[in-house]
Chain A
């Protein structure tokens, strides 16, 4: 049965959140509110502060300053109660290599005080949900990357968490495995789970997230539904053409242009009226060819965070 649950109250609220390490400010005064039942994504280049923010929500990294509440509980005071309603699937595999697939789930369930019989029932159901039932007695070393990731998700769901925290849930997976995980996450959302995730994949964010924030250098640069962000920052379309001298000036008088970005020898024109732009380019600016494509979240991301390599 699939029931749609409309996003409800604010379940995670951050106000002026700061995390300072000795030599850098990882999170620099961010505020956001995540609603119950939504899929909320943190996007940003490496070192943007996404994982640090998630770790503070998980109560495993103390705040430097600011306020952070999860289900109206303070992360500073109510660590244990908060952790009991969270399910966490980390970026790095931290499954127990000494144990089998099933044993991993059973041992982990003890940390949540789940009674033995109930834990066994849940573990079997979750292995089924993630198509791992045939692997129950397999040792972790023999699992593929996709299977490990599915098992991490299954483990995160053992305590039937109200909030699921996923750090790059599909990194390094083949398309089949990614689609399977997306399907499962959509099912979870439709049952009312709140899902908070980080990702570097823009298509993943566009497909899964109700709302996202784009972070860089510890700050939030933009927040909203992926579609709205694309619309407001880029317009509907991008016209790409080879950069000819004076293209920018030449387009100055054309209507409906949101922005002109130059990248290498290519000019990217964001616009809601691509037809006019193309006409202007071909007829007035001496450009030989131009292509139109739909604007994507990746365009927004690169526009906001720049094209400079981070590491």
Chain B
């Protein structure tokens, strides 16, 4: 069976932003509650791990433990904001609210609807990252102004995880099966991407597998460079990985969704 349909170039136009605008508008209706999790979670992590557990941890590469996990918390917020928006959020809109059906009855096509969802997922990553950046900034854990680079960077990482989430959404028979990618992929990734401990304590094959399979690892690498104010050429490889993976999952998820919705 030919798989060329899965990598067909999506038919997109600026109309995708209308879908983005719809999501933005509904989100802002309840923005006060929406902004609480991204504000509270990093503070909890910082207190529990950074300052609590961190008291028992020696410096890592010259950085305190709180400084070590601060860029990881930024990268994790980029990941979770977009991933959950484009899995559970998009599934509810697709399946329960029939929002996508309503929109494709208008001049918009499925490709544009899904692209709008992905752009919105990426935007949520930016919003959450800004909040977390504020938190770690208040605690003096990052170096400004270079740390501000994580803001545009979070859009790219957000788009990657939005596409990844949407790929799972497109093949998920119901909303409960979405917990599989969450607990089998996202949670391990959150722990094994050089987030809470440096990866070099793990065996080499595990390190290599992580490098190949875990997008968060690359996001953490770059985020760390930005917040420490130490960007190096090695990070170009991480950036290349992220760009390539983003292109693949964006195109793939749009085509999978088209196959699911257009019957």
Assuming A60-B262, A99-B26, A111-B18, is B99 touching A88 (CB within 8 A)?
no
Within 8 A of B (CB), among A50-91: 58, 60-62, 79-80, 83-84, 86, 88, 90
Distance between B54 CB and nearest chain A CB, rounded to angstroms:
40
B interface bracket (residues with beta carbon within 8 Å of A): 20 to 34
**A130 CB within 8 Å of chain B:** no
The answer, yes or no, to whether A263 is at the interface (CB within 8 Å) is no
User: In the complex, are the beta carbons of A108 and B29 less than 8 A apart?
Assistant: no
Do A60 and B26 touch (CB < 8 A)? no
Q: Are A108 and B99 in contact (CB under 8 A)?
A: no
Question: Given contacts A94-B97, A96-B97, are A108 and B262 in contact (CB under 8 A)?
Answer: no
Is A191's beta carbon under 8 Å from chain B? Answer: no
- Kindly identify which residue among B98, B104, B106 contacts A92, using a CB–CB cutoff of 8 Å: B98
Give chain A's interface secondary structure class: loop
Task: State whether A108 and B26 are in contact (beta carbons under 8 Å apart), knowing that A61-B262, A84-B107, A96-B97 are contacts in the complex.
Answer: no
11 contacts across the A-B interface (CB closer than 8 A): A60-B105, A60-B262, A88-B105, A94-B97, A96-B26, A96-B97, A96-B99, A99-B25, A99-B26, A108-B106, A112-B106
| Given A60-B262, A96-B99, A111-B106 contact (CB < 8 Å) | yes
In the A-B complex, the 6 residue pairs with the closest CB atoms: A94-B98, A111-B106, A98-B26, A94-B102, A88-B105, A80-B107
A288 to B26, CA, bound (A): 68
Given contact pairs A96-B26, A110-B21, A111-B15, A90 touches B105 in the complex (Cβ within 8 A): yes
Interface residues on A, range: 20 to 34
What residues of chain A lie closer than 8 Å to B101, measured between beta carbons?
60, 90, 94
Q: Is the CB of A86 within 8 A of B105?
A: yes
Cβ–Cβ contact A62 & B105, under 8 A: no
Chain B residue contacts of A96, Cβ below 8 A: 22, 26, 97, 99, 102
Distance between A113 CB and nearest chain B CB, rounded to angstroms = 8
Q: Are A79 and B109 in contact (CB under 8 A)?
A: yes
Q: How far is the CA of A86 from the CA of B105 in the complex (A)?
A: 8
With A and B bound together, what is the CA distance between A99 and B109 in angstroms? Answer: 22
A97 part of interface (Cβ distance < 8 Å): yes
Cα distance, A60 to B108, chains bound together (Å): 11
Q: What residue in chain B is nearest A104 (Cβ atoms)?
A: B102
Instruction: For B21, give the chain A residue with the smallest CB separation.
Output: A110
Does any Cβ of B come within 8 Å of A107's Cβ? yes
Closest to B98 in A: A94
Residues of A near B108 (CB, < 8 A) are 111
Q: From A98, which residue of chain B is reached at the shortest CB distance?
A: B26
- Give chain A residues whose Cβ lies under 8 Å from the Cβ of B22: 96, 107, 110
Contacts of B102 in A (CB 8 A): 90, 94-96, 108
Q: What's the Cα separation between A111 and B103 when bound, in Å?
A: 7
Q: Across the interface, do B29 and A60 meet the contact criterion of CB distance under 8 Å?
A: no
Cα A92 to Cα B97 in complex, Å, equals 10
Given contacts A98-B26, A108-B102, contact A21 B263 (CB under 8 A): yes
Of all chain B residues, which has the CB nearest A156?
B105
Cα A103 to Cα B26 in complex, Å, equals 10
Please give the distance in Å from A102's CB to the nearest CB on chain B: 12
Question: Which chain A positions have C-beta within 8 A of B104?
Answer: 60
Q: How far is the CA of A32 from the CA of B101 in the complex (A)?
A: 26
How far apart are B24's CB and chain A's nearest CB, in angstroms? 11
Known: A60-B262, A83-B107, A107-B22. 16 other contacts (CB 8 A): A21-B263, A60-B105, A61-B263, A62-B262, A83-B105, A88-B105, A94-B101, A95-B102, A96-B99, A96-B102, A98-B29, A99-B26, A99-B29, A107-B25, A112-B106, A159-B106
Which residues of A have CB within 8 Å of B98? 90, 92-94
Given known A98-B26, A111-B15, contact A80–B262 (CB-CB < 8 A): no
Instruction: Identify which of residues 237-269 in chain A touch chain B, using a CB-to-CB cut-off of 8 Å.
Output: none
